[in-house]
């Protein structure tokens, strides 16, 4: 028997592996050799086709250690094809469970045959990590495993094992950092202050937002004015404050610069050219030394053609232009942003936030978000208001996310089909929580056993798939 087919065997094997990992972690060996050996122990004992570890700032500050063990012919690189998932875990500091790799959009570029036979699990390796307490600590890396596809109840047990193993890796990595001196030729790197703008930086999993973040960091080192271009709600205002946070000078943030009257546009141009005190509006005086950050959601070149915007001002501002992509063009940022908004709102309201269900994730990915991050934040806050247990489910999301138009699908659900979908999701979640016990699920749903049992059979749900130790 393997750990995938017997709950008792799994417990015995996983505890033995964790004990051996702890023993390994106490040995004095070079960091890559030690960590690679620990990964090999997991692969051998847990029968994982592949397991990979990513650690930042190990063994030296600003370095990156990436290790992988298992069937390397099956997955060629430690960062491919699951780099977006890894970035999501690093950004949100929350684990990810993908039940079927072939059905997940982040793996669609992979040419690996038989991908539909695998599930993918990834947990954060948190600095100072303790099991189950990583959400409030900065992620220093990730521990990921490809496992043979299994029912959710089995995947959750493997996720718990990986989270505990990640805690061992975190302690080991911290010890290796402490005992590895910097090269004599390298100056010590001072730690960043806790309120550093990088600590509150942009969610930038997608390439387009990583570019915007790089441009923000570069612009902070210059005196030039900055022009932020992007749609309403895309985050121009937030990026302006990120930029200001990296600059000690006073700044004026001129939002929707295209709305300035021509006289004010001319005054702004003269200020940028001559650095003399002026006043754009009665409430906006400019003094030499002010950093100018302007933004616009309009096509300024079109406004120049109609004499509504000054060509000279545009030429001066556009020397440093940062394009903020719309949310629909940065799909990799969707779930990390949603998690961030939910976490922030949960903290503000002092309510729990646990996770986003897979059906809800699918709807979030499918919607085209015409009002960008602002709309996403609003939807997540309303969804958390509607949730009773901190889990965001599909039916908590606004109806517009669930229409054929919003999901770009031609098929539409009748009222009866929509009710069936809602009913099946409720039953599945209740059975999962009750570990396949229909009686307990009925009690949790505050419904009679007879009705719940009838509905379970109607929707062809097998309660045994949620029972530990059974397939």
pLDDT in tens, the chain (471 residues): 345 555 557 778 888 888 888 888 877 777 778 888 899 889 888 888 889 888 887 766 666 788 888 864 444 343 344 566 777 788 778 888 888 888 776 666 556 667 788 888 999 988 654 433 434 455 788 999 988 888 888 888 899 899 999 988 988 887 776 555 444 333 333 333 333 333 345 777 788 888 888 888 888 888 788 888 888 888 888 888 888 777 666 677 888 888 888 888 888 888 888 877 777 766 677 777 777 888 888 888 888 888 988 898 888 888 888 898 898 888 888 888 898 889 888 888 888 888 888 788 888 888 888 888 888 888 888 888 888 888 888 888 887 776 544 344 445 556 677 777 778 888 888 888 888 898 888 888 888 888 888 889 888 888 888 887 654
Query: What is the distance between the alpha carbons of residues 367 and 404, in angstroms, rounded to a whole number?
Result: 10
- Cα-trace Rg, the chain: 26
Q: Are 130 and 166 in contact (CB under 8 A)?
A: no
DSSP 8-state symbol, 190? P
DSSP 8-state symbol, 455? H
* Confidence (pLDDT) at 162: 93
* Confidence (pLDDT) at 74: 42
Task: Read off the pTM.
Answer: 0.50
* Confidence (pLDDT) at 285: 74
Joined tokens for residue 193: 């202050």
Joined tokens for residue 208: 């387009």
Domain ranges across the chain: 7-179, 207-323, 332-466
Q: Where are the alpha helices (DSSP H) in 207-327?
A: 207-219, 236-245, 262-274, 300-305, 311-317
SS3 284: strand
Is 7-179's fold the same as 207-323's?
no
Query: What is the distance between the alpha carbons of residues 186 and 440, in angstroms, rounded to a whole number?
Result: 61
Query: What is the distance between the alpha carbons of residues 74 and 69, in angstroms, rounded to a whole number?
Result: 11
Nearest Cα residue to 171 out of 142, 211, 130? 130
Nearest Cα residue to 55 out of 127, 138, 141, 167? 141
* Confidence (pLDDT) at 190: 34
CATH number of 7-179, picked from 3.30.450.40, 3.40.50.2300, 2.60.40.10, 3.50.50.60: 3.30.450.40
Query: What is the distance between the alpha carbons of residues 90 and 99, in angstroms, rounded to a whole number?
Result: 20
* Confidence (pLDDT) at 143: 92
* Confidence (pLDDT) at 187: 33
* Confidence (pLDDT) at 412: 55
Q: What CATH number is given for 207-323 in this structure?
A: 3.40.50.300
Query: What is the distance between the alpha carbons of residues 173 and 162, in angstroms, rounded to a whole number?
Result: 16
* Confidence (pLDDT) at 80: 45
Q: What CATH number is given for 332-466 in this structure?
A: 1.10.8.60
């Amino acid at each position: 028997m393997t750990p995938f087919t017997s709950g008792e065997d799994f417990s015995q094997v996983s505890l033995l592996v964790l004990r051996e990992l702890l023993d390994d972690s106490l040995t004095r060996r070079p960091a890559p050799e030690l960590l690679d050996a620990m990964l090999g122990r997991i692969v051998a004992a847990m029968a994982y086709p592949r397991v990979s570890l990513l650690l930042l700032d190990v063994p030296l500050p600003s370095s990156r250690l990436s290790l992988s063990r298992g069937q390397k012919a099956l997955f060629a690189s430690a960062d491919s094809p699951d780099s977006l998932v890894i970035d999501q875990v690093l950004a949100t500091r929350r684990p990810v469970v993908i039940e079927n790799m072939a059905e997940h959009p982040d793996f669609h570029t992979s040419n690996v045959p038989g991908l539909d036979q695998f599930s993918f699990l990834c947990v954060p390796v948190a600095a100072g990590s303790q099991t189950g307490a990583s959400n409030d600590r900065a992620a220093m890396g990730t521990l990921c495993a490809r496992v043979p596809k299994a029912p959710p109840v089995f995947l959750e047990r493997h996720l718990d094992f990986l989270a505990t193993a990640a805690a061992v890796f975190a302690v080991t990595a911290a010890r290796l950092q402490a005992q590895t001196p910097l090269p004599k030729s390298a100056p010590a790197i001072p730690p960043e202050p806790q309120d550093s703008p990088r600590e509150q930086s942009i969610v930038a999993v997608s390439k387009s937002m990583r570019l915007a973040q790089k441009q923000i960091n570069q612009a902070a080192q210059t005196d030039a004015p900055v022009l932020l271009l992007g749609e309403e709600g895309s985050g121009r205002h937030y990026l302006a404050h990120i930029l200001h946070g990296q600059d000690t000078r006073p700044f004026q943030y001129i939002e929707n610069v295209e709305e300035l009257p021509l006289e004010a546009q001319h005054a702004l141009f003269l200020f940028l050219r001559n650095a003399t005190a002026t006043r754009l509006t009665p409430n906006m005086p400019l003094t030499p030394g002010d950093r100018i950050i302007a933004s616009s959601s309009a096509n300024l070149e079109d406004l120049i053609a109609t004499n509504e915007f000054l060509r000279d001002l545009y030429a001066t501002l556009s020397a440093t232009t940062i394009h903020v992509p719309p949310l629909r063009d940065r799909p990799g940022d969707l779930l990390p942003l949603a998690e961030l908004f939910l976490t922030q709102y949960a903290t503000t309201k002092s309510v729990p936030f646990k996770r986003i269900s897979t059906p809800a994730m699918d709807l979030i990915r499918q919607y085209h978000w015409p009002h960008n991050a602002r709309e996403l934040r609003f939807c997540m806050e309303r969804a958390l208001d509607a949730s009773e247990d901190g889990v965001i489910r599909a039916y908590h999301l606004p109806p517009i996310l669930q229409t054929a138009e919003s999901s770009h699908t031609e098929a539409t659900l009748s009222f009866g089909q929509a009710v069936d979908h809602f009913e099946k999701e409720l039953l599945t979640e209740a059975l999962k929580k009750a570990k396949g016990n229909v009686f307990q699920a009925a009690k949790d749903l505050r419904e009679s056993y007879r009705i719940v049992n009838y509905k379970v059979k109607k929707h062809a749900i097998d309660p045994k798939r949620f029972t530990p130790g059974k397939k």
